Amino acid sequence: MNTIKNIAAAAGTICAGGLFLINSAWAGIPIQHWTQPSGAQVYLVPSPAIPMLDVQIDFDAGSRRDPAAQAGLAELTAGMASEGVRSVGSAPALDENVLGEAWADLGASLDSSASSDRFSFSLRSLTYPDLLEKATALAARQIGEPAFSDSLWQRERQRVAAQLKESATRPATVAGRAFAAAVYGTHPYGFELTADTLARINASDMRAFYARSILPCRATVSLVGAVDRAQADALVTRLLARLPATACTPLTPLPAVADVQPLTRSSEQHIPFDAAQAQVLIGQPGYPRSDPAFFALLVGNHILGGGGFGSRLTAEVREKRGLSYSVYSSFAPALHAGAFTIGLQTRPDQAKQAIQVAKDVLARFVADGPTATELQAAKDNLEGGFALRIDSNRKLLGNVANIAWNHLPLDYLDHWTAQIERVTQADIQAAFARILQPEKMATVVVGETP
């Protein structure tokens, strides 16, 4: 088995370079898409350079579907999905230790996670037939037969409770929680796991959540690696085979989730905290990934505060005034309007000045847009860095999963740089003026000197 692990490690080391050489020779990235009889949506990019496969399986079961009283349910369920499988038929139960050893012996891995929109599994394995077959079988058991042990959850709950208590001692966590509540209000994107919601979540709730959410007909499966379409189709069928065979038609649609509501006024929270640096977050709801101005907003934010040391916020807040070592702006587009955020750390006695400078920079950018010089520099940087977005199987998988989840064109990556090049100053100014209202931002400051 040590030989297997060594092979896996060596393959992982050469993965990035091997894929980049293949991609540089391609006219395009050939994404194949089909629908299985179960209703599962499959997206495949064959990448034969090395004998490795990466798979991501996504379900519409992220935290946006958490009940308010049980905020954190999706995240905790994802964590527990890796903590053992139950006994089914002649197949014995595997506790978390045995399961971990089994994956280590295969030189493979299966991870589960939950974001605001998605509940996801990520499988990585070598594609040597005996190894891939065993990894697929083990993954199918873990996906289809998680244990959700009551006794294990009681132990895990204590660990999570201790983590929550410890997180309250970190000013960045305190700021992030307050900011999410201020930006999202009662929308599920603003829900946070707390001691109260943790106490209301039991293993039975996880089992019920999993049974109604993790179904083959609701799976979106993305694959990148050394398999062809027939192999990929068979593999996906096996991965999902142990889930309930619920028909997609006529499957009751999932309940609609309301859109994030725009802020109607500005707000400020000043939270006392004994810390060497004040944590500052400024923002509001941004835009959903489906917004047609996505590329204008991407390029514009690169200029404003997403482009590192070349951004306008860095020039004004750090370079000219020395108010912060780093300052950034970001959008988080998702199925709903994710937050627009300006974030920085500064000396507590400089917080007020730093906030005002950042707000002034934002207001000018929204009103006037970028200069021609800024726009060209941003395009050069983004287009020049495109290869780094797809220079490994895992990065390419993330892009394919993004295309699948957001129903983007299959040739989206082939035209990415052309979309960047088409963005104009007027496009950016119009998009920012439509999306952002600087006079209605939420501001959270943790650790400011009175």
pLDDT in tens, 364-402: 999 999 999 999 999 999 999 999 999 999 999 999 999
Q: What domains are defined for the chain?
A: 32-240 (3.30.830.10), 267-446 (3.30.830.10)
Extract the tokens encoding 253: 């649609």
Q: What is the pLDDT of residues 164-212, one digit of tens each?
A: 999 999 999 999 999 999 999 999 999 999 999 999 999 999 999 999 9
The torsion angle over the Cα atoms of residues 257, 262, 265 and 271, rounded to 10 degrees, is 60
Give the pLDDT score at 6.
52
pLDDT band at 428 (very low <50, low <70, confident <90, very high): very high
Nearest Cα to Cα of residue 116 among 294, 267, 301, 288: 288
Residue pair 192/177 in contact by the 8 Å Cβ criterion: yes
Q: DSSP string covering 21-41, please?
A: HHHHH-SS---EEEE-TTS-E
Q: What is the pLDDT of residues 343-366, one digit of tens each?
A: 999 999 999 999 999 999 999 999
- DSSP H/E element including 15: helix 2-25
Residue with tokens 């083959």: 216
pLDDT band at 1 (very low <50, low <70, confident <90, very high): very low
This prediction's pTM: 0.92
Instruction: Provide the percentage of residues in the chain whose pLDDT is more than 70.
Output: 93
Average pLDDT estimate for 232-261: 88
Give the pLDDT score at 251.
64
Q: How far is CA 296 from CA 34, 292, 386, 400, 428, in A?
A: 31, 9, 16, 21, 5
Give the pLDDT score at 25.
38
Give the pLDDT score at 253.
82
* Residue 308: pLDDT over 80: yes
